[in-house]
Amino acid sequence: MKRIAFLGTGLMGAPMVRRLLAAGFPVTVWNRAPEKAQALSADGATVAESPAEAVAGAEVVFTMLSDGHAVRDVLFARGVAEALAPAAVIIDTSSITPQMAREHAGQLAELGFAHVDSPVSGGVVGAEAGTLALMAGGDAAVIEALADVFAPLGRLTHVGPAGAGQVCKLANQQIVAVTIGAVAEAMMLVEAGGADRAKFRDAIRGGFAESRILELHGGRMVARNFAPGGPSRLQLKDLDAVAVLAEATGLTLPLTETVRTEFTEFVAAGNGDADHSGLLLHLETMNAGAPAQESK
């Protein structure tokens, strides 16, 4: 079995590590907050004190970090690149800009290492169940050789060269954000019109409006449970990256821009750590509806 290092064991990283351990892979973990890595020792992970220590001897190195700057810092400022074993492959499952992914791939290639940008979709639920959608950019032969490592995590699709995984993740995040906004607005319309939100959601399940967003985040909106899941500040980070890519490619994306504005205002109001389904609270405030306090 391939020896794995996993850097970043937060909301998404921890369940991914557990999936890899359950599949029989030896995994060494590191996290900026040591207690989050230490919690995985009970599942069989080896805990390292530094990212460089974690990758020593590893054949595959996963990163699942907050943004591209965190990834760059860990790879190139904290000794990881120098500590990599010969022929090690780096799989970045973080959500970062396509440009940064390409830069990282180029820098690592100069040092003789392969890089795969493979952001994921499916949230904590998907990470725990091993049903993530994995969008991989990079060399096809390298990705094919990693099939056994990806298998416990979910469904892998090779989407193109370096950076293509991150492009597809941004497009995914567009759909997620716009759909969250649509579901939230529908919830308000239903209630304002005198119907029941929960029964409305049940009634349209299985029709053309069915989606994972309706299932999971519509359920959160009905229950008014906005503990993260997917923090709104990270949803906004992805929408900002979409805006940069759209400008660079000359695209006008009016739906995306509208929902980006709403998330900008929601996060600025102090709701950055609320689940992105909590956009409902912002829209309710705009409409002088229910009190815009995060439900516990």
Q: Among all residues, which ones are annotated catalytic?
A: 169
Q: Is 248 exposed, middle or buried (0-12, 13-18, 19+ CB in 10 A)?
A: exposed
C-alpha dihedral sign at 243, 234, 137, 53: positive
The residues, ordered by sequence, that sit 6+ positions from 190 with a Cβ below 8 Å of its Cβ are: 196, 197, 200
> Under DSSP, is residue 187 helix (H, G, I), strand (E, B) or coil?
helix
User: Which residue type sits at 232?
Assistant: S
The residues, ordered by sequence, that sit 6+ positions from 35 with a Cβ below 8 Å of its Cβ are: none
Q: How many Å apart are CA 178 and CA 27, to the nearest integer? A: 37
Q: How many Å apart are CA 121 and CA 221, to the nearest integer? A: 20
